[in-house]
Amino acid sequence: MDKLRSSNQIKSIDCDVHPVVNNGLEPLYKYMTQSWKQKFKMSGLVPHSNRHVNPRGSVTRKDITLDGSTAGSDPILTKDYLDEFNVESAVLIAMQPSQLSVVWTDADMVNAVASAYNDYFIENWLSADKRYHLTINVNPQDPQLAVKEIKRLSKVSGVVGINLPLINIMLGDRYYYPIYKAAIEENLPIVTHITGAEGTYLGSASLAGGLTKYYVERYITYPQIAYSNIVNLIFEGVFEKFPDLKVIFAEYGFSGLGPLMTRMDQSWRNLRIETPWVKKRPSEYIKENIFFTTQPIDEMQQDHFDQMIEMIDGKNNLLFSSDYPHWDNDMPDETFHRLFKDDDVRKCILRDNALRIFNERLRND
């Protein structure tokens, strides 16, 4: 394995690294108004809520830290991962505020916490290493508050995207238009990452049949959430109204994207009269406006994998991600070794696509 790592000459950009805040909401108090600070102190709220009990005990790996701290909670320790695997840039996607955005029903409370998390990571992570870059969390329950947060932080050095959690309103709905407009104005892509809490209190982000009972069911059915929202984005005409909008689906799985594209194109041809504003084949919008991160990668034969990458135009719309420090992550050496055999494809997926899609904001030079 060490030989494999040392032979890796291509630097990677990791588009899904999860930073963590320890000790509940207390570290966030300095970034809140006095009234919100007092409210949270009195309520004793904890920054985590989930429907399923993880059978492994935790979503994070337990073999990373030696001092007992939560993996991903220390930007200095996380630098060890970047150094060991030659990671040029890491896109930070914070899961704690994303989960709260879909389980708390008070939009103002969600906004106060999301903003505090943003300020915390800007001060404590972006200053720790120039390789860290942040997707700012915005409030999906109130688009106007989300726009305000985008405008507040879009010019901060190291901010590269907008983290938009999914609630019970599909992404194609005009409800989100103010957020999309602001994203284009500030030249930032939308990133939406699975939280594991979809549907817990605010309804489903399109979970067929309702909420799952077991963790393993939820884990397997992640892709349907992304695919339902992709269909909705395209057939509602979002990319005709906002042709420059970029939407990244992180950690939803991409192996079913090819059949989805084929089915969408066929149905579009047969039923074009219903949605005349969809002027191109749905697969064209996917290739131009929608992107996926690589983790989790489904296991399959190499020739099948290569065919799938070609079918979905993975050379241009896949972004490497490890999901560090979660237990089911795909570390860079494993991805290099097993999957991306073609040097040109490997280079695009591991680095070049991210530079392009994040509008060169990931450059450290």
pLDDT digits (tens, 9 = 90+) for 171-217: 999 999 999 999 999 999 999 998 888 777 666 666 666 777 887 88
- The one-character DSSP state at 123 is I
Q: Taking the CB of residue 82, how many other CB atoms lie within 10 A of it?
A: 19
Please state the rounded mean pLDDT for residues 309-326: 91
Residue the block writes with tokens 């983790």 = 295
pLDDT band at 30 (very low <50, low <70, confident <90, very high): very high
Determine the distance from the C-alpha atom of residue 149 to the mean position of all C-alpha atoms in its chain, rounded to a whole number.
Answer: 18
How far, in Å, CA of 28 to CA of 137, rounded?
14
Question: Mind listing the domains of the chain with CATH numbers?
Answer: 12-356 (3.20.20.140)
The pLDDT of residue 3 is above 50: no
The mean-pLDDT minimum among 5-14, 155-164, 248-257, 291-300 falls in: 5-14
4: pLDDT confidence band, cut at 50, 70 and 90?
very low
Q: Is the pLDDT of residue 119 over 60?
A: yes
Per-residue pLDDT tens over the stretch 50-92: 666 666 555 555 444 545 567 778 898 788 889 888 899 999 9
Q: What phi and psi values does residue 182 have, to the nearest 5 degrees?
A: -65, -40
Backbone angles phi, psi at 202, to 5 degrees: -95, 25
| Phi and psi angles of residue 238, each rounded to the nearest 5 degrees, phi first | -60, -40
Q: How many residues does the chain have?
A: 365
Nearest 5°: phi and psi at 307?
-65, -40
How are beta strands 12-17 and 87-92 bridged, if at all? parallel
Q: What six digits make up the tokens of 274?
A: 């219903």
Interatomic CA distance for residues 179 and 174, integer angstroms: 10
- Can you tell me whether residue 193 is helix, strand or coil? strand
Q: Which of 180, 297, 191 is nearest to 245 (CA)?
A: 180
Least confident of 10-24, 120-134, 254-268: 10-24
- Rounded Cα gap, residues 328 and 322, in angstroms: 9
Task: Name the residue with tokens 């420059």.
Answer: 244
* Residue 63: per-residue pLDDT: 44
- 3-class DSSP assignment, residue 177: helix
Question: What string of DSSP letters covers 173-237?
Answer: SGGGHHHHHHHHHTT--EEEE--S-TTSSS--SS-TTS--SSHHHHHHTHHHHHHHHHHHHHHTT
Host H or E run for residue 12 = strand 12-17
Specify whether the CB–CB gap between 292 and 317 falls below 8 A: yes
